[in-house]
A and B are shown apart, each in its own frame.
Chain A
Amino acid sequence: MMRLGWWLIRAQFLARRGATALSMLAIALGVALGYAIHLINDAALADFSRAMKAVQGEPDVVIAARDGAGHVPLALIDLLSRDEAVAVLAPVIETRVRIGDTPMLVRLIGLDPFSAAQLMPMLLPDQANDAMGRLLDGAVFASPALAAKVGADTTVIRGAARWQTHIGGELPAAPAGERLLVADIAWVQAHFGPREGVGEIRIRLHPETPLAAWRASWAPKLPAGIELRAAADNQARVSNISRAYRVNLNVLAMVALLTGAFLVFATQLTAVAQRSTQFALLGVLGLPPRQRLLQVLVEGLAIGVPGSAGGLLLGFGLATGFTRVLGGDLGGGFFSAASPEIDAQTLPAAGFFALGCLASLLGALYPAWLNRIQPLAQALKTGFAQRQRPGAGHALGRDLLLILVLTVGALALTRVPAIADLPLGGYAAITLLLILGIVSAPLATRALFGALARAWLPAPQKIAVQNILQAPLMAQVAASGLIVSFALTVSMVTMVSSFRTALDQWLDAVLPAPFYMRSKAVPLPAELLADLARPDSPFLRVERMAASSFSLDPQRPAVALLVREIDRRQPGARLPFSGAVIDVAPTEIPVWVSEAMQEVHGIAVGQQLRLPLLGRDVEVTVGGIWRDYARQFGAVVMSADDYLALGGHFEATDLALWPRPGQEAVAQSWLRGEAQRLGVEAAASGEIRELSLSIFDKSFAITHALEAAAMLIGLFGLAVTLAASIWLRARELATLAALGFDRAMLGRAVVLEGAMIAGIGLLLGLACGIGVGAILTEVVNPQAFHWRMPLRVPWTQVLPVAGLTLLAAMLASGIAARQATRMPAARILAGAQ
């Protein structure tokens, strides 16, 4: 029996090389994409984790200030050092500094060499040549990546603070590629603060200490503004940074896999239809029904196995090549561009291989079932029974009920909030909407073409309309492929267009000044600010902003704190609010939060919040929600006056600059010179806008490739199923030829039929696509990435694609018709097909 199965598979693959190869390729692409994403992310996280361990050591617990301006007080260190469960306690101050007047920003870590030797040995210099002694005496040690770039004597600068020191040597075990300086904590504290404490304390507990219980006992004793993070929290925090992005990429991989499943479905369905007489003969000769079902499933698996294996190889190659060229960053900008090692482990590879095989089995399931239930005697005589079951008087009511249930279900799912920060309801609603499109096809066909059947039409057109109205299975399958592919294309075009338009408008609102300057997370040099304040400066006006961050949840990425010179009575002049803005009482401190904060923390306008600022909890009032496409994990804006009133130091990191009238060129030239000298970024607002839109276009360039692939696959499905449908009706066409239809008339009938199927597919695809686009913009994007935007359908892109698809479908029908009418009618009628 196995030999017979093998003969049939071989014959099938040889006869349908193109369709089989394309189905394998689609499965391979789905597996490759999913596997590559897994490998890259796994490698990036492992790399990140290694780097973090190298810098942070392996503490059980980290106690740290929740915001950049806060600190862990010395009294707490004293208290902790007396806890018998604490084995090692390592105080650390970490800050970002500039080296001399070079444009180089590096991490400076101040540590206690004795506790660091136990907890963070990779951050210490060699013991030789009294390195430890020099460290205690005020020398700084540089990582190999940095040591090669700085001289023996150097100045370490942060804002107005300067420290003249010398490089005592290298840190041989520091992570490769990392630019960092290590110094004794007392020296760092003396030069850059904080004077009353340290940045964080890394703690190793005695092995027998239960971590959860210890944590629970200390949590209530910690002052406001201090948080306690376990090692697992750090892992979760790193993973959470890119989670939604990864899930979205994985959904794309799933779409590619399902596309593969659809191609296997179309290939196997047409294969079953074309070989129905052969399978019927085998059934008559004694092939059991179960074997007829298994044969088609095994054929599907025979596509899936090489496809999945090829996909694993391709995925590994993609991941390796991608990390070599672009590092471990999946394109979302979440990890630094290191080149992590790809590690292909057996279990995930087996999982993705199984997924590919499962997709191909899924695609083959319905054709296999159809093959199982074909009435043998009838199929042997007349071929594949493709008409729908007659007497389905309840079909209309059943279809309407199904459509209603799917519509209500999809609408209900769009209301489901994010589950574990993922838009699972939105994804499920998209699935239901696509199914809704497919099941609506027969009803839409009757509604659109029903009247035509009663009208007088020339014979070819009449034949075409009748064929469509009888809704043969093949026509439904052909339309289904087009519905799904066009819906996906329209939805992606709609989402990208909506996003780009919103981004364009947002850039207008957030870039009011002609020039901008920024220094990432490091205060701008004091002399620069002094120069800008001089009367002969080419700038009329300078608005300052200090960007830092604070932690609301140890397992979530930090929230940006933007302290700005902003008029608290007119915040709308600087922030693009997406809703109402309220006046906050003069006794209260207003903050304006981004939509991401609203989405993640459920914040409403007017709400009172307690934010961890300046080492304590500060009560603020939400004055409004503003749109922010720059900071995905949330941002809070506070006026500089309020921040200063709270006791904070306003150290500007970003500047918006208005040149004096007529001095624009001088101002720009001055700015560029300073930026180059100090290693900060400066740009005109037009350049920032251009760069932002160009980055956006590059980020979404892949979607255009996906759209093209989706449309090609949809068209391929249409062409294959249409050709098979016409092949199955060769006898019918031959009869028409015998009755007096010439080839042109037959061709017209078939082309019209193809056009009507494509028309239905495109129409329903358009409707579903707009629906899916709306779900992407209104549900998926806000829940996954916390970005909101108004829906905009780009008709100028959608309609030409629809027109071209219609033409392509008619062309495919014409080719199929020519092939079907090539054989002499008499020969077909004599049963020679």
Chain B
Amino acid sequence: MLSVTGLGKRHPGAARPLFSELRFAVGAGEVVALVGESGVGKSTLLNCIAGLEPADTGTVLVGPDAADMARLDEAAAAALRARRIGFVFQAFHVLPTLNVAQNIAVPLLLNGIDAAEHPARIEELLARVGLAGFGSRWPASLSGGELQRVAIARALVHRPSLILADEPTGNLDPRTADEVLSLLLERVRASHAGALIVTHSQHVAQACDRILALTPEGLR
């Protein structure tokens, strides 16, 4: 689902590259944790994979027969993200002016999926993340755990090849974090997508199938 080869990045003016020659892959239904100290480049790596920041070297292939994300222009990268990637963020990032169903529908709209299909897909996902009947609720009325469940539903609704999650449980209390993590892992595996989860939490990392540690020397 994700294949990274020879990826390198150096910030302008920096003495040495943030990372270089990174090589790894994430398979279908596989959940990989990306750990490392602060400032080592985890978020930059995630941005490079998502096409939000240009890499200096290397290739990033997302899904089968995909173009190299690292070589796409802004518009093409956006189109590829819309089709192949689902995102889950630490700060939830649920649009406050759209209701729950509308938030989940955003990736469907971006992919031009027939509007007739939306209600069924959204209802099904809401049920699976434990929010059945929440479609017409507004984000302001939801708890942190509920907001992250909406984000997970949104990340999966368009059936992406890859889920990128940045500290998905960082803003949640331990019990809610456990629930959300279990849900995320279950839904990713059930959808046969690959997932790369950036985390500082050993607990989260241990729950994943594999752990990649990013260090100044490279991946371990």
Contact = CB atoms under 8 A, between A and B. Distances in A.
A12 B43 CA distance: 31
A288 interface: yes
Most buried by B among A8, A289, A376: A376
A240 B97 CA distance: 55
Given A1-B112, A285-B106, A287-B110, A380 B89 contact: yes
A377 B109 contact: no
A597 B3 CA distance: 84
Contacts of B111: 286
Given A8-B97, A15-B97, A377-B52, A285 B110 contact: yes
A165 B187 CA distance: 108
Interface stretch (B71-79, B172-180, B202-210): B71-79
Contacts of B75: 288-290
Contacts of A377: 43, 47, 52-53
Q: Considering residues A3, A286, A290, which has the most beta carbons from chain B within 10 angstroms of its beta carbon?
A: A286
Given A1-B109, A282-B106, A284-B50, A11 B78 contact: no
A278 interface: yes
Contacts of A11: 97-98
Contacts of B22: none
Interface string B76-119: 00111111010101010101111000100011011110010000
B78 A283 contact: yes
A456 interface: no
B5 interface: no
Using C-beta atoms within 8 Å of the partner chain, give the interface range for chain A.
Answer: 20 to 34
B141 to A, nearest CB: 14
B52 A284 contact: yes
The CB with the most chain B CB atoms within 10 A, among A15, A281, A377, A380, is that of A281
Nearest to A289: B74
B116 to A, nearest CB: 12
Given A286-B79, A287-B78, A4 B109 contact: yes
Given A281-B95, A285-B81, A285-B82, A1 B50 contact: no
Contacts of B97: 7-8, 11-12, 14-15, 278
Given A7-B98, A7-B102, A285 B107 contact: yes
A9 to B, nearest CB: 10
Contact of B115 (A3, A281, A284, A831): A3
B56 to A, nearest CB: 16
B171 interface: yes
A285 to B, nearest CB: 6
Interface string A1-25: 1011001100110110000000000
Interface of B is mostly: helix
A445 interface: no
A4 B110 contact: yes
Interface in A280-308: 281-290
Interface in A717-774: none
A189 interface: no
Contacts of B80: 286
Given A1-B109, A376-B52, A289 B95 contact: no
A813 interface: no
A277 B93 contact: yes
Interface string B6-31: 00000000000000000000000000
A282 B171 CA distance: 21
A678 to B, nearest CB: 76
Contacts of B82: 285-287
A99 to B, nearest CB: 74
A147 to B, nearest CB: 71
Given A3-B115, A11-B98, A831-B171, A286 B89 contact: no
Contacts of B171: 831
B110 A380 contact: no
Contacts of B96: 278
Majority secondary structure of chain A interface residues (helix, strand, loop or mixed)? helix
A8 B171 CA distance: 27
Nearest to B115: A3
Nearest to A290: B75
Given A7-B102, A11-B97, A376-B52, A284 B109 contact: no
A285 B88 CA distance: 10
A292 to B, nearest CB: 9
Nearest to B99: A7
A8 B106 CA distance: 11
A8 B85 CA distance: 23
Contacts of B43: 377
Interface string A378-403: 00100000000000000000000000
A727 B154 CA distance: 28
B51 to A, nearest CB: 10
B106 A4 contact: yes
A286 B81 CA distance: 5
Contacts of A290: 75
Interface in A243-285: 277-278, 281-285
Contacts of B52: 284, 376-377
Contacts of B102: 7
A15 B109 CA distance: 23
Nearest to B82: A286
Nearest to B87: A284
Interface in A623-671: none
Interface in B99-156: 102, 106-107, 109-112, 115, 154
B81 to A, nearest CB: 4
Contacts of A287: 78, 82, 110
Nearest to A279: B95
A229 B53 CA distance: 73
A155 B114 CA distance: 89
A291 to B, nearest CB: 8
A12 B97 CA distance: 8
A248 to B, nearest CB: 44
Contacts of A288: 74-75, 78-79
Contact of A284 (B81, B83, B91, B98): B81
A281 B106 CA distance: 11
Nearest to B155: A285
Nearest to B86: A285
A153 B111 CA distance: 91
Contacts of A7: 97-98, 102
A285 B98 CA distance: 15
Contacts of B89: 380
Nearest to B85: A286
A40 to B, nearest CB: 43
Contacts of B53: 377
Contacts of A380: 89, 93
B78 A289 contact: yes
Given A4-B109, A8-B97, A831 B79 contact: no
A380 B53 CA distance: 13
Contacts of A8: 97
Contacts of A286: 78-83, 85, 107, 110-111
Contacts of B98: 7, 11
Most central of B80, B81, B154, B171 by chain A CB within 10 Å: B81
B112 A281 contact: no
Contacts of A12: 97
Interface of A: 1, 3-4, 7-8, 11-12, 14-15, 277-278, 281-290, 376-377, 380, 831
Given A4-B106, A277-B93, 9 more contacts: A1-B110, A7-B102, A14-B97, A278-B96, A284-B87, A285-B110, A286-B82, A288-B74, A377-B47
28 contacts: A3-B109, A3-B115, A4-B109, A7-B102, A8-B97, A11-B98, A15-B97, A278-B95, A278-B97, A281-B95, A282-B95, A283-B78, A284-B50, A285-B82, A285-B87, A285-B106, A286-B111, A287-B78, A287-B82, A288-B74, A288-B75, A288-B78, A289-B74, A289-B78, A377-B43, A377-B47, A377-B52, A380-B89
The 8 closest A-B pairs by CB, nearest first: A286-B82, A11-B97, A286-B81, A4-B109, A288-B78, A377-B52, A281-B93, A286-B110
